[in-house]
Amino acid sequence: MLFAGGLLAGALGGLLGIGGGIVLMPILRFMVGLSPAHAAGTCILAVFFTTLGGSYRHYRIGHVNFRSLAIIMIAGALATVIFSIVFLYLSTRERWLDLGIGLVFSLISARMIVEGIRGLTRKAEKREAGNEIKGSLLQKISIGSMAGALPGLLGIGTGVILVPAFTYILNAPIKVAMAASLTCFSINAFISSAFKFWQGFIDLNVALPICMGTLLGANLGAKLNKSFPSSTLRLIFGLMFSYVSLKFILSYMR
Protein backbone atom coordinates (compact mmCIF):
# COMPACT_ATOMS: atom_id res chain seq x y z
CA MET A 1 0.00 0.00 0.00
CA LEU A 2 2.78 2.42 0.89
CA PHE A 3 4.74 1.68 -2.28
CA ALA A 4 1.59 2.06 -4.43
CA GLY A 5 0.73 5.33 -2.70
CA GLY A 6 4.26 6.60 -3.30
CA LEU A 7 4.10 5.56 -6.95
CA LEU A 8 0.82 7.44 -7.44
CA ALA A 9 2.08 10.51 -5.58
CA GLY A 10 5.30 10.57 -7.57
CA ALA A 11 3.54 10.19 -10.91
CA LEU A 12 1.06 12.94 -10.08
CA GLY A 13 3.86 15.19 -8.85
CA GLY A 14 5.95 14.73 -11.98
CA LEU A 15 2.95 15.17 -14.24
CA LEU A 16 1.39 18.25 -12.64
CA GLY A 17 4.41 19.94 -11.04
CA ILE A 18 3.38 19.33 -7.42
CA GLY A 19 5.15 17.49 -4.64
CA GLY A 20 2.62 14.68 -4.24
CA GLY A 21 1.99 15.40 -0.56
CA ILE A 22 -1.70 15.82 -1.31
CA VAL A 23 -1.76 12.06 -2.01
CA LEU A 24 0.64 10.94 0.71
CA MET A 25 -0.56 13.01 3.66
CA PRO A 26 -4.08 11.47 3.89
CA ILE A 27 -2.56 7.98 3.48
CA LEU A 28 -0.12 8.57 6.33
CA ARG A 29 -2.61 10.37 8.52
CA PHE A 30 -5.81 8.35 8.10
CA MET A 31 -4.77 4.94 6.70
CA VAL A 32 -1.42 4.39 8.44
CA GLY A 33 -2.55 6.33 11.51
CA LEU A 34 0.50 8.51 12.12
CA SER A 35 0.17 11.60 14.27
CA PRO A 36 -0.03 14.93 12.40
CA ALA A 37 3.60 15.78 13.22
CA HIS A 38 4.98 12.36 12.22
CA ALA A 39 2.80 12.33 9.09
CA ALA A 40 4.23 15.73 8.11
CA GLY A 41 7.81 14.62 8.72
CA THR A 42 7.47 11.31 6.87
CA CYS A 43 5.57 12.97 4.03
CA ILE A 44 8.16 15.66 3.36
CA LEU A 45 10.93 13.05 3.11
CA ALA A 46 8.94 11.12 0.51
CA VAL A 47 8.05 14.32 -1.31
CA PHE A 48 11.76 15.14 -1.56
CA PHE A 49 12.25 12.02 -3.68
CA THR A 50 9.26 13.04 -5.82
CA THR A 51 10.71 16.45 -6.50
CA LEU A 52 14.21 15.08 -6.99
CA GLY A 53 13.10 12.52 -9.57
CA GLY A 54 10.66 14.87 -11.30
CA SER A 55 13.04 17.82 -11.51
CA TYR A 56 15.83 15.64 -12.88
CA ARG A 57 13.56 14.34 -15.60
CA HIS A 58 12.39 17.87 -16.46
CA TYR A 59 16.02 19.00 -16.57
CA ARG A 60 16.79 16.24 -19.08
CA ILE A 61 13.83 17.40 -21.20
CA GLY A 62 15.14 20.99 -21.12
CA HIS A 63 12.53 22.70 -18.92
CA VAL A 64 14.89 23.84 -16.12
CA ASN A 65 17.12 26.93 -16.10
CA PHE A 66 19.05 26.91 -12.81
CA ARG A 67 20.52 30.38 -13.26
CA SER A 68 17.10 32.04 -13.39
CA LEU A 69 15.96 30.06 -10.32
CA ALA A 70 18.95 30.73 -8.04
CA ILE A 71 17.41 33.65 -6.10
CA ILE A 72 14.12 31.81 -5.63
CA MET A 73 15.96 28.75 -4.32
CA ILE A 74 18.02 30.78 -1.83
CA ALA A 75 14.98 32.68 -0.51
CA GLY A 76 12.98 29.47 -0.24
CA ALA A 77 15.80 27.67 1.58
CA LEU A 78 16.10 30.42 4.21
CA ALA A 79 12.33 30.47 4.76
CA THR A 80 12.27 26.68 5.10
CA VAL A 81 14.93 26.82 7.83
CA ILE A 82 12.96 29.43 9.79
CA PHE A 83 9.62 27.63 9.55
CA SER A 84 11.18 24.22 10.28
CA ILE A 85 12.18 25.65 13.64
CA VAL A 86 8.63 26.96 14.17
CA PHE A 87 7.34 23.45 13.34
CA LEU A 88 8.88 22.12 16.56
CA TYR A 89 6.58 24.45 18.52
CA LEU A 90 3.57 23.62 16.34
CA SER A 91 4.12 19.87 16.76
CA THR A 92 2.79 20.13 20.32
CA ARG A 93 -0.47 21.53 18.93
CA GLU A 94 -1.23 18.80 16.41
CA ARG A 95 -4.85 19.78 15.81
CA TRP A 96 -3.55 23.03 14.34
CA LEU A 97 -1.39 21.03 11.94
CA ASP A 98 -4.49 19.21 10.68
CA LEU A 99 -6.28 22.53 10.23
CA GLY A 100 -3.36 24.12 8.38
CA ILE A 101 -2.96 21.13 6.08
CA GLY A 102 -6.70 21.05 5.38
CA LEU A 103 -6.77 24.74 4.47
CA VAL A 104 -3.75 24.45 2.16
CA PHE A 105 -5.22 21.34 0.52
CA SER A 106 -8.46 23.24 -0.11
CA LEU A 107 -6.45 25.90 -1.98
CA ILE A 108 -4.64 23.23 -4.00
CA SER A 109 -7.95 21.55 -4.87
CA ALA A 110 -9.54 24.84 -5.88
CA ARG A 111 -6.56 25.67 -8.08
CA MET A 112 -6.71 22.28 -9.77
CA ILE A 113 -10.44 22.64 -10.45
CA VAL A 114 -10.11 26.18 -11.83
CA GLU A 115 -7.12 25.34 -14.03
CA GLY A 116 -8.76 22.11 -15.19
CA ILE A 117 -11.91 23.94 -16.30
CA ARG A 118 -9.87 26.74 -17.85
CA GLY A 119 -7.77 24.26 -19.81
CA LEU A 120 -10.85 22.46 -21.12
CA THR A 121 -12.77 25.59 -22.12
CA ARG A 122 -10.09 28.00 -23.36
CA LYS A 123 -7.37 27.95 -25.91
CA ALA A 124 -3.84 27.96 -24.55
CA GLU A 125 -2.37 31.40 -24.07
CA LYS A 126 0.69 32.26 -26.13
CA ARG A 127 3.71 32.76 -23.93
CA GLU A 128 7.31 33.51 -24.66
CA ALA A 129 9.29 30.38 -25.51
CA GLY A 130 12.31 29.19 -23.53
CA ASN A 131 12.97 27.77 -20.07
CA GLU A 132 14.03 30.94 -18.25
CA ILE A 133 11.98 32.18 -15.29
CA LYS A 134 12.00 35.95 -15.67
CA GLY A 135 11.03 38.57 -13.12
CA SER A 136 12.41 41.22 -10.80
CA LEU A 137 14.64 40.44 -7.83
CA LEU A 138 11.87 41.47 -5.41
CA GLN A 139 9.32 39.22 -7.15
CA LYS A 140 11.62 36.23 -6.99
CA ILE A 141 12.58 36.76 -3.34
CA SER A 142 8.91 37.17 -2.36
CA ILE A 143 7.79 34.07 -4.24
CA GLY A 144 10.66 31.95 -2.91
CA SER A 145 10.08 33.08 0.68
CA MET A 146 6.36 32.31 0.61
CA ALA A 147 7.01 28.92 -0.99
CA GLY A 148 9.59 27.97 1.64
CA ALA A 149 7.09 28.35 4.48
CA LEU A 150 4.85 25.37 3.64
CA PRO A 151 7.39 22.52 3.64
CA GLY A 152 9.00 23.85 6.79
CA LEU A 153 5.79 24.49 8.70
CA LEU A 154 3.41 21.76 7.45
CA GLY A 155 5.57 19.23 5.61
CA ILE A 156 3.70 19.67 2.33
CA GLY A 157 4.41 21.08 -1.10
CA THR A 158 4.75 24.50 -2.61
CA GLY A 159 3.14 23.80 -5.98
CA VAL A 160 0.07 25.72 -4.83
CA ILE A 161 2.28 28.84 -4.67
CA LEU A 162 5.05 28.31 -7.21
CA VAL A 163 3.17 27.03 -10.26
CA PRO A 164 0.57 29.85 -10.39
CA ALA A 165 3.22 32.44 -9.40
CA PHE A 166 5.54 31.36 -12.22
CA THR A 167 2.66 31.11 -14.69
CA TYR A 168 0.59 34.22 -13.94
CA ILE A 169 3.04 36.63 -12.28
CA LEU A 170 6.27 35.79 -14.11
CA ASN A 171 4.51 34.70 -17.33
CA ALA A 172 6.37 31.39 -17.70
CA PRO A 173 5.08 28.57 -19.96
CA ILE A 174 3.08 26.07 -17.90
CA LYS A 175 5.47 23.14 -18.37
CA VAL A 176 8.45 25.34 -17.49
CA ALA A 177 6.53 26.57 -14.41
CA MET A 178 5.87 22.98 -13.32
CA ALA A 179 9.52 22.01 -13.81
CA ALA A 180 10.76 25.10 -11.94
CA SER A 181 8.31 24.39 -9.10
CA LEU A 182 9.63 20.86 -8.64
CA THR A 183 13.25 22.03 -8.82
CA CYS A 184 12.83 24.79 -6.23
CA PHE A 185 10.77 22.56 -3.98
CA SER A 186 13.44 19.83 -4.02
CA ILE A 187 15.76 22.19 -2.09
CA ASN A 188 13.04 23.13 0.38
CA ALA A 189 12.01 19.49 0.88
CA PHE A 190 15.59 18.40 1.53
CA ILE A 191 16.09 21.06 4.21
CA SER A 192 12.72 20.37 5.82
CA SER A 193 13.41 16.60 5.81
CA ALA A 194 16.78 17.11 7.49
CA PHE A 195 15.21 19.23 10.24
CA LYS A 196 12.32 16.82 10.83
CA PHE A 197 14.66 13.84 10.96
CA TRP A 198 16.77 15.64 13.55
CA GLN A 199 13.58 16.57 15.45
CA GLY A 200 12.48 12.90 15.45
CA PHE A 201 9.35 13.22 13.28
CA ILE A 202 10.24 10.79 10.45
CA ASP A 203 9.15 7.13 10.60
CA LEU A 204 11.77 5.43 8.40
CA ASN A 205 9.93 2.09 8.32
CA VAL A 206 6.98 3.82 6.69
CA ALA A 207 9.04 6.25 4.61
CA LEU A 208 11.27 3.70 2.84
CA PRO A 209 8.65 1.95 0.64
CA ILE A 210 6.96 5.29 -0.06
CA CYS A 211 10.25 6.88 -1.16
CA MET A 212 10.94 3.98 -3.50
CA GLY A 213 7.53 4.49 -5.09
CA THR A 214 7.79 8.27 -5.37
CA LEU A 215 11.22 8.12 -6.99
CA LEU A 216 9.96 5.78 -9.72
CA GLY A 217 6.62 7.54 -10.12
CA ALA A 218 8.15 11.03 -10.40
CA ASN A 219 10.27 10.02 -13.38
CA LEU A 220 7.24 8.44 -15.04
CA GLY A 221 5.07 11.50 -14.42
CA ALA A 222 7.67 13.94 -15.73
CA LYS A 223 8.08 11.81 -18.85
CA LEU A 224 4.32 11.80 -19.46
CA ASN A 225 4.23 15.57 -18.91
CA LYS A 226 6.03 16.06 -22.22
CA SER A 227 2.96 15.05 -24.21
CA PHE A 228 0.08 14.42 -21.79
CA PRO A 229 -2.83 16.93 -21.64
CA SER A 230 -3.29 17.54 -17.92
CA SER A 231 -6.51 19.63 -17.79
CA THR A 232 -8.88 16.70 -17.29
CA LEU A 233 -6.61 15.13 -14.70
CA ARG A 234 -6.40 18.40 -12.77
CA LEU A 235 -10.19 18.68 -12.67
CA ILE A 236 -10.67 15.08 -11.47
CA PHE A 237 -8.02 15.28 -8.76
CA GLY A 238 -9.18 18.75 -7.71
CA LEU A 239 -12.68 17.44 -7.03
CA MET A 240 -11.37 14.35 -5.27
CA PHE A 241 -9.00 16.25 -2.98
CA SER A 242 -11.71 18.74 -2.01
CA TYR A 243 -13.02 15.85 0.08
CA VAL A 244 -9.53 15.20 1.48
CA SER A 245 -9.15 18.81 2.60
CA LEU A 246 -12.55 18.66 4.30
CA LYS A 247 -11.48 15.49 6.15
CA PHE A 248 -8.45 17.26 7.61
CA ILE A 249 -10.52 20.27 8.67
CA LEU A 250 -13.12 18.01 10.33
CA SER A 251 -10.29 16.20 12.13
CA TYR A 252 -9.30 19.54 13.69
CA MET A 253 -12.88 20.18 14.82
CA ARG A 254 -13.20 16.88 16.70
Span 187-198, pLDDT tens digits = 998 999 999 999
CA 191 to chain centre: 14
Q: Per residue in 125-149, pLDDT tens?
A: 555 567 788 888 999 999 999 888 8
Residue 243: the pLDDT is 67
Neighbouring C-beta atoms of residue 136, cutoff 10 Å: 10
Give the integer Cα–Cα distance in Å for 215 and 96. 30
Q: Mean per-residue pLDDT for 16-42?
A: 82
Give the integer Cα–Cα distance in Å for 26 and 206. 14
Give the integer Cα–Cα distance in Å for 231 and 229. 6
Residue 174: the pLDDT is 74
Give the integer Cα–Cα distance in Å for 243 and 238. 9
Contacts of 15 (CB under 8 A, 6+ apart): 221, 222, 224, 225, 228, 230, 233
- Cite the DSSP H helix spans in 124-230: 137-154, 159-164, 174-199, 204-225
29-59 per-residue burial string, b: 16 or more CB within 10 A, e: under 16: beebebbbbbbbbbbbbbbbbbbbbbbbbbb
User: Percent of the chain scored above 90 by pLDDT?
Assistant: 18
Give the integer Cα–Cα distance in Å for 149 and 86. 10
| Among candidate residues 99, 73, 87, 102, the one with its CA nearest the CA of residue 37 | 87
